[in-house]
Amino acid sequence: MLKVVSFLIIVFIMPRVGAQTSTLAMADSLYAVGDYQKAIHLYEKQDSLSASVYQKIASAEQARGDLNKALIAYEKSIQQNPKLVVAKANYGKLLRLTYQYKKADSVYTELIQQYPQNPDFQYQLGLIKEKLKNPRAYQFFEKAIQQDATHQNALYELASYHYQNKAFKETENLTQKALTSAPKNIKMQLLSALNAYSQRDYSSALKRYQKVIQLGYTSESVWKKLGMCYYQEAFITKAIEAYQHVLKFNAENASAHLYIGKLYLHKEKLEDAERYLLMALLLSKPKLDENYQSLGLAYKGKQEYKKTMHYFKLALEEDPKKMRSQFELAVAADNYYADLQTRLNYYALFLNKFEEEPKASIFIKLSKRRISDLKKEIHLSKKAD
């Protein structure tokens, strides 16, 4: 009889176990190809969710960007199996990414107590300590490097720390150490170049920025600094080319126009020099229209309408198309002048400039209403005379 019961149990249970295994395998396949939502649905269909399944759900939720659900799944995974190190580590990273630095600190402090020789745990705790403004955060990067001399991320963070503290020699040693094992590390190449540039070692900085560009990285800042290196090293044509690259990123970079103008002047190409120097002058002129408009609004609030008008007029001199200033000027005139026609003329001027502007609809409506009221007042005043 016992054998029959055992057989029946096997008959009924084995298909369920097989089905569960099949569902889990299918979920893993969906996860592998990035169909996270369907993978999560299948993971959650398991009869009993194990710690490892919760970990997979957490990874899938994080991959699809629902970080809150990912955190909840990681917590459930760790509750079921506190020894699941990967889940704990990923949970700690996600806490840092979601700005929960104190919780993250607690998670990684515990992990380091359990695994004191793990360099990445030291590095992660260093990042968290930085966010917590701990002045000794750099020591965790040092520990990571002691345990893994080529840990690129820890080397970069420690080098950055020394650079920020103007410890240029230490920065140089760390960047060169990192680049020996990973010469294509762009972040480290940039920091190495910046370190030389900051010490006005333009010859070294020039070679390093050239290397950065050879590796395929370019930016406005890189070309600008490279231009200065060429300029300082008296490579005039190369300097002009570098600054022209700056203008491809930002056509309104005043300093790039200025240096190109200076360099053309050096080459006695006076027309080219004039063109770039005039553009530099134009771009360097501060835009004061916003300041003037804000001052106008401040004096309007104080009901000092003469000063209000003065600053709105200045704003319009800087930018004649400044719609708000033109309307507020009319309002200030309406409050300041006694003469009805003068007040009406200011609103008419606003309509003349902006009646076809769709964004001015509310100001147009208010102006027309006020013109109508003023016309009635003018008509009544003439009757009274």
| 221 neighbors 191 (Cβ within 8 angstroms) | no
What is the domain range of residue 371? 289-384
Q: How far apart are CA 129 and CA 170, in angstroms?
A: 21
CA-nearest of 173, 176, 251 to 207 is 176
Q: Which residue has the higher pLDDT, 143 or 359?
A: 143
Task: Return the DSSP state at 33.
Answer: T
Evaluate whether residue 313 is within a structural domain. Answer: yes
**Predicted model pTM:** 0.72
List the one residue out of 266, 163, 249 whose CA is nearest residue 226: 249
At residue 275, the pLDDT reads 93
Residue showing tokens 């050239």: 210
Query: How would residue 242 be classed by pLDDT, with cut points 50, 70 and 90?
Result: very high
Query: Average pLDDT, whole number, for the chain?
Result: 90
In a domain, 74, yes or no: no
Q: Which residue has the higher pLDDT, 354 or 45?
A: 354
Residue in 58, 37, 34, 54 with CA at minimum distance from that of residue 46? 54
Query: Tens of pLDDT along 36-79?
Result: 998 888 888 877 888 889 898 899 999 999 999 999 999 999 99
Place of tokens 């955190």: 71
Looking at residue 384, what is its pLDDT?
65
> Does residue 294 form part of some domain?
yes
Is residue 304 in a domain? yes
Q: Using CA atoms, how far apart are residues 317 and 130, in angstroms rounded to an integer?
A: 48
Distance CA 169, CA 214 (A): 25
Tokens 């553009």 label which residue?
A: 279
Element (H, E) at 21: helix 2-32
Average pLDDT over every residue of 102-110: 97
Q: Single out the residue of 344, 353, 358, 305 nearest to residue 328, CA to CA.
A: 305
Flag whether 150 is in a domain: no
Mean local confidence (pLDDT), 348-374: 93
Q: Is 275 part of a structural domain of the chain?
A: no
Look at residue 91 in the predicted model and tell me its pLDDT: 95
Whether residue 192 contacts residue 179, with contact meaning beta carbons closer than 8 Å, is answered with yes
Give the count of beta carbons closer than 10 Å to the beta carbon of residue 180. Answer: 9
Q: Which CATH number is 363's domain given?
A: 1.25.40.10
Residue 2 in this model has a pLDDT that exceeds 50 = no
Q: What's the total number of domains in the chain?
A: 1
Mean pLDDT within 10-18: 42
Least confident segment among 20-24, 299-303, 368-372 = 20-24
289 close to 318: Cβ distance less than 8 angstroms: yes
Specify if 72 maps to a domain: no
Q: What average pLDDT score do residues 155-169 get?
A: 97
Neighbour-count burial of 287, counting CB atoms closer than 10 A to its CB (0-12 exposed, 13-18 middle, 19+ buried): exposed
| Residues 62/70, Cβ–Cβ less than 8 Å | yes
pLDDT exceeds 70 at position 254 = yes
Question: What SS3 class is residue 223?
Answer: helix
Report if residue 356 sits inside a domain. yes
Which residue in the block uniquely carries the two structure tokens 């600053």? 311
- Alpha carbon distances (Å) from 174 to 17, 117, 189, 193, 319: 54, 21, 11, 13, 51
Tens-digit pLDDT profile for residues 315-348: 999 899 999 999 999 999 999 999 999 999 999 9
| Rounded Cα distance, 333 and 343, in Å | 6
Q: Which of 61, 72, 18, 19 is nearest to 39 (CA)?
A: 61
C-alpha 179: how far from its chain's center?
A: 27
